[in-house]
A and B are shown apart, each in its own frame.
Chain A
Amino acid sequence: MNIFRLAGDIAHLLAVIILLLKIWKSRSCAGISGRSQLLFAIVYTTRYLDLLTNFVSIYNSVMKVVFIAASYATLYLMYMKFKATYDHNHDTFRIEFLLIPVTALALLVNHEFSVLEILWTFSIYLESVAILPQLFMVSKTGEAESITSHYLFALGSYRALYLLNWIYRYYFEGFFDPIAVVAGVVQTVLYCDFFYLYITKVLKGKKLSLPA
């Protein structure tokens, strides 16, 4: 555990808490992509199956349980409790265009051809693109509430901080996982446009709106 990894995990935790609180406090999931949230639930479920087979640390296990529970809680709020507020007209990204290539890639490029390993690889690849329906929704409506922007910033920062963690681990621990690193770079690059808008607009007190 190094400072980048810890900061990344805290950013990740903060993101899921911001999202749950936003929906709970406003009693609305307007502006949030249910499709991205569904993909994240699939990501956590397939990645953290090793909770049952491999113990790393209390910290590791608790965080895994929290991420799985939070993702299902978010889905429950969006698709059940506050279903009426779900903006499905703007949430139209075709997730099969992500799921099919990601499945194929996980079967082709993995560390080991075993069920758990392929599911882990699948989750890493899927996570890297899971935010696309949400970014697509923001670009379609042309704006995002500030709280949604904070959520996206925290979620994007998490993998960017993991990149620093991987650089640190490469130099100081000789650790290098090309699958995680390449997917992490892709994931972070997808947020770059958003990061730019967040820093130039939201942090200056303006609403995140895209030029028409």
Chain B
Amino acid sequence: YGNEHEHDEL
């Protein structure tokens, strides 16, 4: 699992 909570995408 990566950094899914960062939500760096739009």
Which residues from chain A sit less than 8 Å from chain B, CB to CB? 5, 9, 12, 50, 54, 56-57, 60, 63-64, 67, 111-112, 117, 120, 162, 165, 169, 173-177, 179-180
Interface of A is mostly: helix
> In the complex, what residues of B have CB within 8 A of residue A169's CB?
2
Interface of B is mostly: loop
Interface centre among A64, A67, A175, A176 (most CB of B within 10 A): A175
Query: Within B1-10, which residues are at the interface with A (CB < 8 Å)?
Result: 1-10
Which residues from chain B sit less than 8 Å from chain A, CB to CB? 1-10
> In the complex, what residues of B have CB within 8 A of residue A63's CB?
10
> In the complex, what residues of B have CB within 8 A of residue A165's CB?
9
A120 close to B7 (CB less than 8 A):
yes
> In the complex, what residues of B have CB within 8 A of residue A162's CB?
9
> In the complex, what residues of A have CB within 8 A of residue B6's CB?
54, 56
CA distance A117 to B4 in the complex (A): 10
